[in-house]
């Protein structure tokens, strides 16, 4: 194999736990095998980027994060069959493609998911990004590390989208949006006329509201602590909004739903809210857990309430989505005007990445998208 060529890039580097992102010159190697190099046009910022910055999970640092990239294929490795330079792609999580979960079509439960997405290097343990003087930067975050002007991904994680679609908007479909929508459609399988409760009206939660409306849920209750988020949830399909700081809110949900929700989605990552969500379920209700908390976090709830009422709790990763199928479906729904996830998005110049993070954490922005294209 010939020695790979390098491309000069600019990357937002996370140097230590909780530190601001720093925009730095770096170098990215050329694609080999089934890899693709993508010119990043825009990349979403998900809460998961911030919890890795804050080391909820022990991804090695310094690292280049970013896992909602959208861009244009610039170069492909020799094994790539379905993508060519110039194609528009949305980048999504990595999976091995040959474990039992992957073979059964459950790629988000790939047995190698954690290492591939949070391990900080490729399958061979090597990184693809270095500083200009050759120091290693951990990468391969969600098979992309897209807080950069160019990213290296793989054919299986680069999802081709129509050129007519607004590429700079589409990156969040690769994680947060497909997680919320997929949780409703694939994992919980919310049914027409049912009563749906979403805990946390952030990007994932409001995507779930949009999907619950598409699925025909009759009652959709959104719970959050940020009034503007609750208001947007109502504009986009929630029938009721509740501030969880109000005492007795669980009883209010039970009243609104006539005895408890059939389906609930926990996206706050807070164990106390999860326990209250279980209490807010009706008989045989199911609560999906997507919210991420620090490793080792435990939750407590009433076991008898779970058992006697036949309730269930279900962990959900990436909305049980098969991205090659689901992302183009969401693009199509958006283009038909039936999936208004653009209402969640605020665009920021790439150079303002720390302002985007601060706005997101302050509840001012739901889904920041960094405009990377044109950044020198
Ligand atoms: P977000 O920060 O936009 O949303 C979380 C929401 O919870 C916010 O609106 C916040 O105001 C609300 N909240 C916080 N405390 C609350 C409380 N006590 N009561 C009610 N609401 C409260 O984040 P997001 O991007 O929507 O992601 C949600 C979670 O899902 C994060 O933990 C993220 O890491 C995780 N996530 C998981 C997956 C997965 O595959 N499981 C994928 C993407 C994101």
**pLDDT (tens digit per residue) in 62-115:** 999 999 999 999 999 999 999 999 999 999 999 999 999 999 999 999 999 999
Quote the DSSP letter at residue 138. Answer: B
Looking at residue 148, the DSSP 8-state letter turns out to be B
Its CATH architecture, for the domain 6-174+340-371, is: Alpha-Beta Complex (3.90)
Q: What is the pLDDT of residue 233?
A: 98
- Residue spans per domain, the chain: 6-174+340-371, 180-317
Q: How far is the CA of 200 from the centre of ligand 1 (A)?
A: 6
Residue 2 has a pLDDT of 54
Whole-angstrom CA distances from 169 to 42, 44, 58, 192 are 7, 8, 30, 29
> Domain 180-317 carries which CATH code?
3.40.50.720
The predicted pLDDT at position 4 comes to 56
- What's the angle, vertex CA 194, arms to CA 192 and CA 196, rounded to 5? 120
User: For residues 43 and 77, is the Cβ–Cβ distance under 8 A?
Assistant: no
Ligand 1 centroid to Cα of residue 267, in Å, is 4
Fold matches, 6-174+340-371 and 180-317: no
Below-70 pLDDT ranges, the chain: 1-4, 375-376
CB 154 within 8 A of CB 181: no
Q: Which atom of ligand 1 is nearest to the CA of 204?
A: 26
**Residue carrying structure tokens 């959709």:** 220
157-210 pLDDT tens trace = 999 999 999 999 999 999 999 999 999 999 999 999 999 999 999 999 999 999
**Pocket-forming residues, ligand 1, beta carbon under 6 Å:** 46-48, 51, 175-176, 179, 200-205, 223-226, 229, 244, 267-270, 273, 290-292, 316-318, 363, 366
240-243/195-199 β-pairing: unpaired
Q: What is the pLDDT of residue 270?
A: 97
Atom nearest to 363 CA in ligand 1: 11
**Both tokens of residue 329?**
């479906």
Pairing of strands 150-154, 261-266: unpaired
- Residues 6 or more apart whose CB falls under 8 angstroms from that of 244 comprise 199, 223, 224, 225, 273, 276
């Amino acid at each position: 194999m010939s020695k790979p060529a390098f491309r000069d890039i600019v990357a937002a580097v996370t140097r230590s736990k909780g530190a601001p992102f720093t925009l730095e010159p770096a170098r990215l190697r050329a694609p080999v095998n089934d890899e693709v190099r993508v010119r990043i046009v825009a990349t979403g910022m998900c809460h998961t980027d911030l919890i890795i910055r804050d080391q909820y999970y022990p991804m090695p640092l310094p690292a280049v994060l970013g896992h909602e990239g959208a861009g244009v294929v610039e170069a492909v490795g020799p094994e790539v069959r379905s993508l060519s330079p110039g194609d528009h792609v949305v980048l999504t999580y990595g999976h091995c493609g040959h474990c039992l979960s992957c073979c059964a079509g459950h790629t988000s439960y790939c047995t190698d998911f954690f290492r591939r997405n949070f391990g900080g290097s490729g399958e061979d343990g090597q990184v693809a990004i270095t500083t200009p003087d050759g120091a290693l930067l951990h990468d391969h975050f969600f098979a992309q590390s897209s807080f950069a002007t160019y990213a290296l991904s793989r054919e299986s994680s680069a999802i081709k989208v129509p050129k007519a679609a607004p590429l700079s908007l589409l990156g969040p479909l690769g994680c947060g949006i497909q997680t919320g929508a997929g949780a409703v459609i694939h994992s919980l399988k919310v049914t027409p006329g049912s009563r749906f409760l979403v805990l946390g009206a952030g990007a994932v939660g409001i995507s779930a509201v949009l999907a619950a409306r598409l699925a025909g849920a009759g009652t959709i209750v959104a719970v959050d602590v940020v009034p503007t988020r609750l208001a947007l949830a109502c504009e986009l399909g929630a029938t009721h909004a509740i501030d969880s700081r109000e005492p007795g809110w669980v009883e209010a949900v039970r009243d609104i739903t006539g005895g408890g929700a059939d389906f609930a989605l926990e996206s706050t990552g807070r164990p106390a809210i999860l326990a209250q969500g279980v209490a807010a379920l009706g008989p045989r209700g199911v609560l999906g857990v997507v919210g991420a908390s620090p490793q080792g976090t435990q939750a407590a709830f009433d076991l008898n309430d779970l058992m006697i009422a036949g309730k269930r709790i279900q962990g959900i990763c990436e909305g049980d989505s098969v991205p090659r199928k689901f992302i183009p479906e969401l693009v199509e729904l958006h283009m038909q005007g039936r999936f208004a996830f653009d209402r969640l998005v605020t665009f920021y110049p790439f150079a303002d990445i720390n302002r985007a993070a601060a706005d997101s954490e302050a509840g001012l922005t739901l889904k920041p998208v960094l405009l990377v294209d044109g950044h020198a």
